[in-house]
Amino acid sequence: MTPKILIAYGTRAASTHEIADFMAAALRETGAVVDVIAITKAQPALDLRGYDRVIIGSATRIAKPLPEVVQFVRAHQAALRAIPTAYFIVCMTLVDNTPAKRAIVRTYLDPLVALHTPDSIGMFAGRFDPALIEQPWRFLMQHGGKADIPRGDFRNWDAIHAWTLALLADTRVLA
């Protein structure tokens, strides 16, 4: 049976979008049918029936998933109970990928986990380019004590690939 998978994501500076597209490509190579959508406020009407797995990803802002991602999970709580669901979060805190930092970032998912417990969680560092951050966030990051965020692409594509393919085995995976 060919699995049909939805990857829904929220992003601000395209890093999470690029990860979602990368995941989709990896899953398609296995023969899966994959839909990738950007979560916006207009997405609550999306019908999740027919999907064999849902993967929901979010960038972080102020140590939380994006509001539209939380709204999406809230709107689809009932449907998600019947579908294997995975969450992934993209966070620059994981540039220094230590157990202590992973424990901190794991708490960033609490608003989503409180709505629906996933069977798998992926946590990944992202890419930071201040030019891609919208105002007023760019100003706040540069002048509000966050000027020390390292610039560059810190995504571990091998880890993202491994976590994504492990989802097909329907195992509990914490990446």
User: Mean pLDDT throughout 134-147?
Assistant: 56
User: Mean pLDDT throughout 90-108?
Assistant: 93
User: Mean pLDDT throughout 102-123?
Assistant: 96
**Structure confidence at residue 100 as a pLDDT band (50, 70, 90):** very high
Distance in angstroms (rounded) separating the CA atoms of residues 13 and 163: 22
Full-model pTM? 0.85
Q: What share of the chain in percent tops pLDDT 90? A: 65
Model confidence at 109: pLDDT above 50: yes
User: Mean pLDDT throughout 105-128?
Assistant: 94
Model confidence at 139: pLDDT above 60: no
Domains of the chain: 4-167 (3.40.50.360)
Distance in angstroms (rounded) separating the CA atoms of residues 19 and 109: 18
Q: Are 127 and 90 in contact (CB under 8 A)?
A: no
Phi/psi-derived region of residue 29, left when phi > 0, alpha when psi is between -120 and 50, beta in every other case: alpha
**DSSP conformation class of 132:** G
Distance in angstroms (rounded) separating the CA atoms of residues 170 and 153: 29
Distance in angstroms (rounded) separating the CA atoms of residues 17 and 143: 27
**DSSP conformation class of 44:** G
Model confidence at 74: pLDDT above 70: yes
Q: Which residues contact 124 (CB under 8 A, 6 or more apart)?
A: 19, 88, 89, 90, 91, 94, 155, 156, 159, 160, 175
Helix, strand or coil for residue 64? strand
Please name which of 121, 114, 133 lies closest in space to residue 84, comparing C-alpha atoms: 121
